[in-house]
Amino acid sequence: MFAEEWPLLTFTLLSQFGVGAYIFFVIVRAFNKKLGNNLAINVTKRGIMMVGPVIALALVFSLFHLGTPFGAYRSILNLDSSWLSREIIFTSAFFALWIVSFYLDRKGTWNQIVGWVTSVVGLGAVFCMASIYASSIKPAWTDANTYLAFYGTTILFGAVTSMIFILMSKEEKTEGLTSIIKGIGLAGLGAMIAQLVYLPIYVSGLSVSGQAGLKSAALLTETYAFSTVIRWALSFVGLAIIGWVFYRNNKSQSQMKFYLAALTLVLVGEFLGRYIFYATGVSIIVG
């Protein structure tokens, strides 16, 4: 993989981490009245705060793949024709709206509408990220798998992060909150299953996409076959650990190490998956 792709890899993962976490926190807060006692607000307060620094760091990494970082402002001048410009605008807008929502949250005047608008903008940012690759000259990227992978990572990161923050909170885990946690876990699991179900279709499509597609298919099924298995195993085990701690209902401080282990496994798994995504992108222009 070329050195200049590392900042892009980090940018996409961090952005999807922040967007996914924020969306799930907003979804949880949508049940605040039903749960009562501001329970949904209290269990997600630290999580909302965490999103901003993550997105800020992602934006910093986004500068490093530009030829001249200090000329980054020029990259937004082609909004009508460039997915890169749209990506920067949407990601920056998401960060700006996070600042607004975080300010309201700190004042104790959380606005759910602002939360939903910010979430939609975040989803738009992920769509723009995926569209940059989907409009490339690399068959491995122009497939619907790119959108499935980017949104799948967003959902998985959001599910895992939100469950960890909720379970780590000192608030009582009521029956209503427990049901929400279960639903979040199923959403994360569904995001992974959807990608795995589509994987054979994706590889089959690459096999009939010319020499570049054949090369990408060979990389996936041969060179990176074991890495792909490890990637999915790490993500599944990470999610399973959270589920195990949740159903075990262990309230001791020792559960922290399990949450950290789970988050680490998912992060490494998704990092490996994104590495494979970049490594298997073979251009139709050869030589």
Average pLDDT, the chain: 89
Give 81's DSSP letter: T
Summarize pLDDT for 52-62 with one digit per residue, the tens.
999 999 999 88
Are the C-beta atoms of residues 125 and 91 closer than 8 Å to each other? yes
Are the C-beta atoms of residues 130 and 196 closer than 8 Å to each other? no
Gap between the Cα atoms of 229 and 206, Å rounded: 19
* pLDDT score, position 187: 96
* pLDDT score, position 252: 52
Summarize pLDDT for 180-232 with one digit per residue, the tens.
999 999 999 999 999 999 999 999 999 888 899 999 999 999 999 999 999 99
* pLDDT score, position 113: 96
Question: Poorest-confidence range of 2-6, 48-52, 65-69, 230-234?
Answer: 65-69
pLDDT of 40 > 90? The answer is yes
pLDDT of 67 > 90? The answer is no
Structure confidence at residue 172 as a pLDDT band (50, 70, 90): confident
* Domain ranges, ordered by start, for the chain: 5-279
CATH 1.20.1630.10 is right for the domain spanning 5-279: yes
Determine what percent of the chain is predicted with pLDDT higher than 70. Answer: 90
* pLDDT score, position 120: 98
Summarize pLDDT for 103-120 with one digit per residue, the tens.
999 999 999 999 999 999
Full 3-state SS string of 96-156: HHHHHHHHHHHHCCCCHHHHHHHHHHHHHHHHHHHHHHHCCCCHHHHCCHHHHHHHHHHHH
